[in-house]
Structure 1
């Protein structure tokens, strides 16, 4: 198993640890910043999320730089991303920091695009990530990180940065999903 795939597996293994640390109240209380409170468990969980999200960039960089791209990696890397994002979305809903409908839009798009990719793969086609899809991922990860840290340090200016980023992520989620289906409608032609 090559290094990028090991990094992707490490990302998957960080997910349960991230959720436990985020959702289990630690006995260390909260930190105050500009009048806002950040529970230590959320800071630790948020830090683990940022670390896990950074491994997404790292494994891709190493795979491309050293020509270590593999079929297993093409399967594992997006799966690890989807699991991490879904875990963060569900955690934020449980913490009452994110409306459930936003999570449903994001998760539904991921299921739909993954399903289309599976149908395409069965026909011998590979659907690569689009620039819109990559921007969607960047905004999702940024929004989730800011929400996990309760909008710190943006609370100084009373800016709901996490929700602003999440609205952008939701819009990119919808637009990129429509884009994938329009550009790849040939995948379903003849099978309906």
Structure 2
């Protein structure tokens, strides 16, 4: 395994610690959980940087990175349902998109990396989760909920775009004939 892949796998170790910290959390525990979440989220950028910079882009990394990202996102979303902060059906929309794309990717002969929409979706999810984890005064919890729904919209849009086959130009169509 490459260094980039090890960085990706390191995110997995944060999830159980995060889940332990958010059981009956105090304000301090919520800040700690937010810190853990953000450090893990930053490793998503770091593993991509290392993979590209040191020519460590692999099919295993292209498969594991989005899978680990999904687990990192699902853990706090499930906690936010448990806390009564988010409705389960909103999180279900995110879960449905993520599992659909993951299943679709498994059946591809060549695994492609995330596109701009997928990256925007990930950033919007991280922002929304961060705002909702932090024990901030009003109006920030409402801003977090609005951010969550924006993230849901981007999640659905990016999923639809991911599944739509790219259009061929006329010259590409003629060269295949």
Q: State the shift of 1:138 in Å.
A: 0.6
Residue 78 of structure 1 and its aligned partner are, at CA, apart by 1.0
Pair 1:178-2:163 in alignment: no
Superposition deviation, residue 128 in structure 1: 3.2
In the TM superposition, what is the alpha-carbon distance from 1:71 to its structure 2 partner?
2.3
Aligned-residue RMSD, C-alpha: 1.8
What is the TM-score with the length of structure 2 in the denominator?
Answer: 0.86
- Post-superposition Cα deviations, 1:7-53, rounded to whole Å, max 9, x if no partner, equal 1111001100011111244xxxx5xxxxxxxx222111111111111
The 5-angstrom pairing of residues 102-113 of structure 1 reads 102-113=90-101
In the alignment, the residues of structure 1 paired with residue 24 and residue 60 of structure 2 have an alpha-carbon distance, to the nearest angstrom, of 33
Match of 1:12 in 2: 12
Could you say which residue in structure 2 is the equivalent of 1:164? Answer: 146
Question: Would you identify which runs of 4 or more consecutive aligned residues in structure 1 move more than 6 Å?
Answer: none
> Comparing 11-20 with 89-98, which one deviates more in the overlay?
89-98
Residues 8, 80 of structure 1: 8 Å contact kept: yes
Residues 144 and 162, structure 1, Cα contact 8 Å, conserved in 2: yes
Q: TM-score, normalised by structure 1?
A: 0.80
Aligned residues of 1:143 and 1:165 also touching (Cα < 8 A): yes
1:15 & 1:41 partners in 2: Cα distance? 15
Structure 1 residue 99, shift from structure 2 partner: 1.3
More strand by share: 1
Among 31, 34, 43, which residue is 1:46 paired with? 34
Corresponding residue of 2:130? 145
The answer to whether the Cα contact below 8 Å between 2:67 and 2:102 also exists between their aligned partners in 1 is no
Q: Could you tell me which runs of 5 or more consecutive residues in structure 1 were left unpaired when the two chains were aligned.
A: 31-38, 185-192
5+ long unaligned stretches in structure 2: 167-177
Q: Number of residue pairs matched?
A: 166
Kindly indicate whether the alpha-carbon contact (under 8 Å) linking 2:62 and 2:112 is maintained by their aligned counterparts in 1: no
Q: Where does residue 61 of structure 2 map in the other structure?
A: 73
Preserved contact between residue 43 and residue 148 of structure 1 (Cα < 8 Å): yes
